[in-house]
Structure 1
């Protein structure tokens, strides 16, 4: 008989909410796990994307542990400390770089001017800012260029978009605010490397013809930009933030392990990844039924499972990442087209022991209110076309690694 524990004994819990998962609403023939990923948006031409950096300018040394308070943004010390003479002598950015930075700067200015004229900002200006931000993640620029173009200034830069107290009454789309804040946090930390796999040495694919074994991706030994994910809540992460691999998510502090699906401590889980596994999870977007791991000891759960049990008691929020290769019961409209996407924080509201001998627990997670929507479709979908194109280019290059 299954053992059930309701982690929410509080009076405000909706009594009608099921503690066991509903049946998947799919035909019997399709009940096995995985549906095809959502169709990707049209891919943008990003032929200008630079290759990975091998060296960084001194002013671009990243400080991974630092990140700003986006509710009350202030330019970082390194930004303010760049001498005026250095700014004057710095070369003009390449035209393809300047073009996309100008989309952000001029788009913000146009929106502010429109509100000043008591008219609604043009959707075309929102789209221009959106396009500029998405491409800016992949621009080969320096910290000096960011400072020279005043992109972290509160009066002219990215804070105008994501910070409501600085927006001058402009109602930017929610997904535009999220991405502007993500780019701001990256640049604020002096991370100007445009590579998806920055800080990581890519492994080689197996080549039978050459008698070569595969090697795995791993962190570069001298990389200083890694954040650690041993915290509860969002931290510096933004809803919809995307990575091409779990190692990249680990680099940015979204998760704390390269393989394990659950990370945490005695208080509760920091994060969990919905990926492939022996048991198909159930994904309803705002509600998820997520399996812990099998234990070899029938008297106690694994450490990973225990982290989730702890969360059910402490009510600490758990970061949830969805992977493109996740297996779920029935169809799934929330799977990213590639890689892993951060979909915000959830609360573990209960669990059920499905297999006592193997200590397999099924956890019920509910997405906390007040967050922006899951970015699985629509104009705010992640990964963006630019991210997909950059990953496609890297996949081709990886085939020819020496």
Structure 2
């Protein structure tokens, strides 16, 4: 197969339904002030025109960010899939994978060529790395990059469970476990993390590539700010995860979401608005570094994080109390950083957009900053051996593909950040 499927010289995954996007932009510019930031140029790269008209532009119809699904394939009837615990040290293909017999695979329609060629890049990259290791050689960095880029784009391929089964992506001997569980190839740590994240997603039969799967997008008039604002909510029909547990659970270092509501959908956090989640007697499960009345201090592996104000000067809020309990119990707290977080001084750790999971922190101490309002400042230290915070290349999250998908959502779905 060709090294890169191209259309008029443009990689297929960069052609993001240009006609619809350009039309939406023209309408947007005719109704919005000119001061509105332009859409990212990375998603407005049309193929060269062959028309005699200077204004006409031909665009390729392919996109690696598909339209939002309205109907699932027959084998994907449970959106969100099986919510079972996965042992990544000794992975086994899931039940739904085993239930698709070889006879069904043989009778199934072929995976669309563009998608198949893309997935083959991941599989061929793994194969070439294994072959190099078998000869006692170090795999080419180009193969690592190909696998890395392939995994990032695979999150946005419109696949069915059958296609995953056909391509063998969940098999231990040739699929994604060959990356995150390899004993012969020294893959970069961030590639292992993302391969494991993709494996978990597909293992659970979560084949929907939509960033906002399980979310009902909406908007409402906000008189306080004088414009419309987001009014998104969780879809009760979606089989979402709960976030009331200590530790990483199924989450991976650097996992990213466009909004806090999406993080709640995947069980990284439990509250759609609140920054601290926990339970009395167990401490905090997770906290979000976002906006607030007090600027937090973020030094990466060390954070000074403010609790919430209390209306009762005799006791802190429940959220603050959860953090106090975590300090006493020494239980780890999941830390999520938001792009809109407010901190004292410059911040090199916040994501460019959305919300990123940065691993487990211990609450090592705290002090009361305002007794009348029961405002507490907590000192958190990141647990060792989790891999670096993913705020810079080549491990940075969100990835370019995630940013492109979010940019498209803002245009096509009129998503309000």
- TM-score, normalization by structure 1: 0.85
1:341 pairs, out of 349, 356, 370, with 356
2:109 aligns with 91
Q: RMSD over aligned Cα, in angstroms?
A: 2.1
Output one character per residue of 1:59-84: Cα deviation in whole Å (capped at 9) or x when no partner.
22233532411122111111111122
| C-alpha distance in structure 1 between counterparts of 2:262 and 2:359, whole Å | 17
2:64 aligns with 48
Output one character per residue of 1:28-70: Cα deviation in whole Å (capped at 9) or x when no partner.
xxxxxxxxxxxxx995778331111122224222335324111
Do 2:126 and 2:179's aligned partners in 1 also have CA atoms closer than 8 Å? yes
Q: 1:311 to 1:154 in 2, by over 3 A?
A: same
| C-alpha distance in structure 1 between counterparts of 2:357 and 2:271, whole Å | 15
| C-alpha distance in structure 1 between counterparts of 2:227 and 2:349, whole Å | 37
1:289 and 2:304 are equivalent in the alignment? yes
Do 2:339 and 2:355's aligned partners in 1 also have CA atoms closer than 8 Å? yes
1:218 pairs, out of 227, 230, 233, with 233
Deviation of the 1:99 alpha carbon: 2.1
Q: 1:77 to 1:380 in 2, by over 3 A?
A: same
1:259 and 2:273 are equivalent in the alignment? yes
Q: Secondary structure at the match of 1:132?
A: helix
1:161 and 2:179 are equivalent in the alignment? yes
1:393 and 2:408 are equivalent in the alignment? yes
2:128 aligns with 110
1:351 and 2:366 are equivalent in the alignment? yes
1:136 and 2:154 are equivalent in the alignment? yes
| C-alpha distance in structure 2 between counterparts of 1:219 and 1:53, whole Å | 16
1:59 pairs, out of 75, 88, 95, with 75
Do 1:205 and 1:399's aligned partners in 2 also have CA atoms closer than 8 Å? no
Greater Cα offset, 50-59 or 126-135:
50-59
Do 2:217 and 2:415's aligned partners in 1 also have CA atoms closer than 8 Å? no
Do 1:161 and 1:180's aligned partners in 2 also have CA atoms closer than 8 Å? yes
Do 1:318 and 1:346's aligned partners in 2 also have CA atoms closer than 8 Å? yes
| C-alpha distance in structure 1 between counterparts of 2:398 and 2:293, whole Å | 26
1:250 pairs, out of 264, 288, 307, with 264
| C-alpha distance in structure 2 between counterparts of 1:229 and 1:267, whole Å | 13
Unaligned runs of 5+ in 2: 1-39, 46-61
| C-alpha distance in structure 2 between counterparts of 1:280 and 1:203, whole Å | 30
1:179 and 2:197 are equivalent in the alignment? no
| C-alpha distance in structure 2 between counterparts of 1:253 and 1:398, whole Å | 24
1:317 and 2:332 are equivalent in the alignment? yes
| C-alpha distance in structure 2 between counterparts of 1:277 and 1:318, whole Å | 19
Unaligned runs of 5+ in 1: 1-40
2:95 pairs, out of 44, 62, 77, with 77
Do 2:253 and 2:359's aligned partners in 1 also have CA atoms closer than 8 Å? yes
Q: Secondary structure at the match of 1:313?
A: helix
Do 1:103 and 1:131's aligned partners in 2 also have CA atoms closer than 8 Å? no
1:303 aligns with 318
| C-alpha distance in structure 2 between counterparts of 1:400 and 1:140, whole Å | 21
Q: Secondary structure at the match of 1:264?
A: strand
Output one character per residue of 1:91-132: Cα deviation in whole Å (capped at 9) or x when no partner.
112222112211110000000000111111000000010111
Greater RCO, 1 or 2 (C-alpha within 8 Å, sep 6+): 1
